[in-house]
Structure 1
Amino acid sequence: MNKPLIIFDMDGTLVNSSLTIANAINYVRQNLGFEPMEQAYILKRVNDHTLNPAQTFYHTRRFEQDHEKWFSEYYTKNHEKELVLYDGIKELLEALKEKGHALAVATNAYRGSTIESLTHLGIYDLFNSIACYDDVLQGKPHPDMIYKILDELNYTEKEALFIGDGPRDEMAAKAAGVDYIMVDWGFTDHTDAVRSVGALRTLLLPDEAK
């Protein structure tokens, strides 16, 4: 039997991108002629699956091509000085690869900025597959990204695990029939979640603790 495929959300799970996301959203707002929003206001709502993010941040029913262009423009110019990995993430990924796990990313970020970010942070080559918002018909909380990764790597739902930090991730995992672990060092705080990268490593690599 295959070692379990481990799929990670990116923002708030692997990467502390809170500053970049808030600034990129405000850059789009600036281009649209709107006043900036407070970072705390943005981060409280960015993972709220009950809101329409296009309406919340850009006052329109759906994302437009210019929104993607401006968001990616800010990301490209600023990711090198604003993005950081959470402590212990790179070492965890390397240990999982060494144990024979396939690794993947499922993110509601666009593919261009995702590849830029993961490459800059030195972890892009650790992943066997990446599924992004513009790779599928529907982003999370829909399961499309997870299905894409499973098909691409030839795994079944029972052979996969998804790790994320918000309700969209949990809903996508449930819809796809994939086991899920919630972490809480990202943008949101959950009462029933893994609270440190070290604790997650113990869960995923229990033999290390013996």
Structure 2
Amino acid sequence: MRSPRPERRVEAVIFDFDGLLIDTETTLLQSWTFEWAAWGLEISKEGFFADHGGDVTEERFAKLADAVGPSFRRDVSEKRRLAFRAGLHEDLELNPGVGAWLQEANQLGLRLAVASSSPRAWIVEHLERVGVLDRFEVLACGDEVDVPKPNPAVYKLCLGRLGLAAHAAIAVEDTPHGVSAAQAAGLRCIAIPNPYINPDKVAHADLTLPSASEQPLASAFRR
């Protein structure tokens, strides 16, 4: 009789950042909506969010410049939008349930990491601001890899820094390309779609939840 297969213990949780730990996706859309309105225009929300983790700031400015015409001033526009978004971030906290998950992970002896397509300075700034930077043992960032999600490069970098095989960690993501990146790296993945993602788009995740407040982390792991 074949002996039962030993259970593989989860040792770490790897979180995406934007839209998952903190809702910077909403402030991004709000800042661009504000900036279009400053030029007397209305932004189209269709296709606003890219289907990859790369930086599309230049494409967004190009679209705005085309809409405004010759009077467009990039320097004025960029300074105004960033100042408006910074104001929105002053009171922005962790997403619902995330703080409880981080605390529970600590109680369970799980290591914590971030794997994001965003640059390190951005991630550090916000994790410091909400007082949780020291919870994360490893950060793997978009400016440390050549290609963004859905390429698995940033997850492979994160696993390498943790010194773990993929089966020893679980990823938590909020977008389809994030889920695809995690799974391409061999990770199981929990999806908590951000407000701009149709839950059907992350159905390929191993588990989909509407919020981290839906259930304790250990319960999500068991499911």
Tell me the TM-score range normalised by the shorter chain: 0.7 to 0.9
Amino acid at match of 1:9: D
- Contact (CA 8 Å) 1:27, 1:70: kept in 2 or not? no
Amino acid at match of 1:177: G
Q: CA separation in 1, counterparts of 2:54 and 2:108?
A: 39
Q: CA separation in 2, counterparts of 1:75 and 1:124?
A: 24
Distance 1:70 1:3, change over 3 A: farther
Task: Give 1:53 deviation, angstroms.
Answer: 3.1
What CA deviation, in whole Å up to 9, does each residue of 1:20-49 have, x standing for no partner?
32355579989xxx88763x717x532424
Residue 118 of structure 1: which of 127, 131, 134 is its match? 127
User: What fraction of aligned residue pairs are identical, expressed as a percent?
Assistant: 23
Structure 1 unaligned residues grouped into runs of 5+: 61-65
Distance 1:57 1:158, change over 3 A: same
Q: CA separation in 2, counterparts of 1:71 and 1:102?
A: 39
- Contact (CA 8 Å) 1:17, 1:84: kept in 2 or not? no
What's 2:219 paired with?
206
What's 1:173 paired with?
182
Task: Give 1:106 deviation, angstroms.
Answer: 1.3
TM-score (norm 1): 0.75
Pairs within 5 Å for 1:1-210: 3-23=10-30, 38=43, 41=45, 45-49=48-52, 53=56, 56-59=59-62, 74=83, 77-78=86-87, 80-191=89-200, 192=203, 193-201=208-216, 204-206=217-219
Q: CA separation in 1, counterparts of 2:185 and 2:59?
A: 27
Q: CA separation in 1, counterparts of 2:80 and 2:182?
A: 27
Amino acid at match of 1:45: F
Q: Give the superposed CA RMSD.
A: 3.7
Q: CA separation in 2, counterparts of 1:102 and 1:24?
A: 34
Q: Name the one with the larger helix percent.
A: 1
Q: CA separation in 1, counterparts of 2:84 and 2:122?
A: 6
Q: CA separation in 1, counterparts of 2:122 and 2:53?
A: 25
Q: CA separation in 1, counterparts of 2:92 and 2:13?
A: 23
- Aligned to 2:147, the other structure's residue is in SS state coil
- Aligned to 1:195, the other structure's residue is in SS state coil
Q: CA separation in 2, counterparts of 1:128 and 1:72?
A: 33
Task: Give 1:75 deviation, angstroms.
Answer: 8.7
Distance 1:162 1:50, change over 3 A: closer
Count, aligned residues: 196
Q: CA separation in 2, counterparts of 1:106 and 1:128?
A: 12
TM-score (norm 2): 0.71
Q: CA separation in 1, counterparts of 2:10 and 2:109?
A: 6
